[in-house]
């Protein structure tokens, strides 16, 4: 068994249940490969960078501008920021692009992958990369919850809801979305390429 095959099997064996990001800068991942209702999902896993903004800013004496840090970092590394807002409170997905979120304030429990997916608790300083087609929905959140949203350069999101009659077309569209070449925190190789590239080679 090769190292990449072993990693792939490890990813696919992720246990069911609620997933809470820990307090470190080590990226974590969650497989949501199977469709759920009208949500296509994606063989590429969700990638979460726990508290990466706080980790990078921990030596600063003053309170860090987390939203500003995410916007500057994303823009510098080929993921131009597009908006600041919360996450929609209904299941939706983007069949034509991957989406990057940086949590600027507060916390939220977010359902990823549609009704049969996983709940992830996100907190200020966390970032999450959502593969094209993966459903997401804000379930509960603090009043101040806010995220910075970004997409790979040249991509504008199309937003679909959980609609089974659109599933077949969405699955085909998701397959056409190219793999990003730049990690949002390094601008080159990084967690994105290290986690996604070996998996993409199997599909």
Q: What angle do CA 36, 82, 157 make, to 5 degrees?
A: 35
The pLDDT assigned to 26 comes to 80
Give per-residue burial for 159-193: e unless 16+ CB within 10 Å, then b: ebebeeebbeebeebbeebeebebbbbeeeebbbb
**CATH for 3-200, options being 2.60.120.10, 1.10.3720.10, 3.40.640.10, 3.30.160.60:** 2.60.120.10
The pLDDT assigned to 168 comes to 96
The phi and psi torsions of 196 (rounded to 5 degrees) equal -80, -40
**Residuewise pLDDT in 10s, the chain (203 residues):** 333 333 333 333 333 333 334 334 589 999 999 999 999 999 999 999 999 997 666 555 666 799 999 999 999 999 999 999 999 999 999 999 999 999 999 999 999 999 999 999 999 999 999 999 999 999 999 999 999 999 999 999 999 999 999 999 999 999 999 999 899 999 998 899 899 988 877 76
**Closest by Cα among 124, 126, 131 to 175:** 131
The pLDDT assigned to 67 comes to 96
Evaluate whether 123 touches 52 at the Cβ level (below 8 Å). Answer: no
Domain boundaries defined on the chain: 3-200
Evaluate whether 52 touches 191 at the Cβ level (below 8 Å). Answer: no
pTM: 0.86
Longest dimension (CA), the chain: 53
The pLDDT assigned to 9 comes to 34
DSSP secondary structure string for all residues of 131-164: -TT--EEEEEE-TT-EEEEE--TT-----EES-G
The pLDDT assigned to 61 comes to 60
The pLDDT assigned to 14 comes to 35
């Amino acid at each position: 068994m090769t190292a990449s095959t072993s990693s792939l099997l490890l990813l696919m064996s992720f246990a069911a249940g609620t997933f809470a990001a820990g307090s470190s800068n080590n990226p974590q991942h969650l497989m949501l490969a199977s469709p759920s209702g009208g949500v296509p999902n994606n063989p590429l896993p969700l990638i979460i960078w726990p508290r990466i903004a706080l980790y990078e800013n921990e030596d600063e004496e003053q309170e860090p501008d987390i939203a500003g840090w995410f916007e500057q970092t994303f823009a510098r590394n080929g993921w131009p920021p597009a908006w600041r807002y919360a996450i929609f409170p209904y299941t939706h997905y983007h069949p034509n692009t991957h989406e990057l979120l940086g949590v600027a304030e507060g916390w939220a429990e977010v359902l990823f992958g549609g009704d049969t997916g996983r709940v992830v608790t996100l907190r200020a300083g966390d970032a999450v990369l959502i593969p094209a087609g993966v459903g997401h929905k804000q379930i509960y959140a603090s009043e101040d919850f806010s995220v910075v949203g970004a997409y790979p350069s040249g991509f504008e999101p199309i937003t679909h809801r959980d609609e089974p009659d659109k599933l077949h077309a969405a699955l085909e569209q998701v397959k056409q979305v190219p793999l990003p070449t730049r990690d949002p925190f390094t601008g080159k190789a990084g967690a994105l390429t290290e986690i996604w590239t070996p998996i993409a080679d199997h599909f």
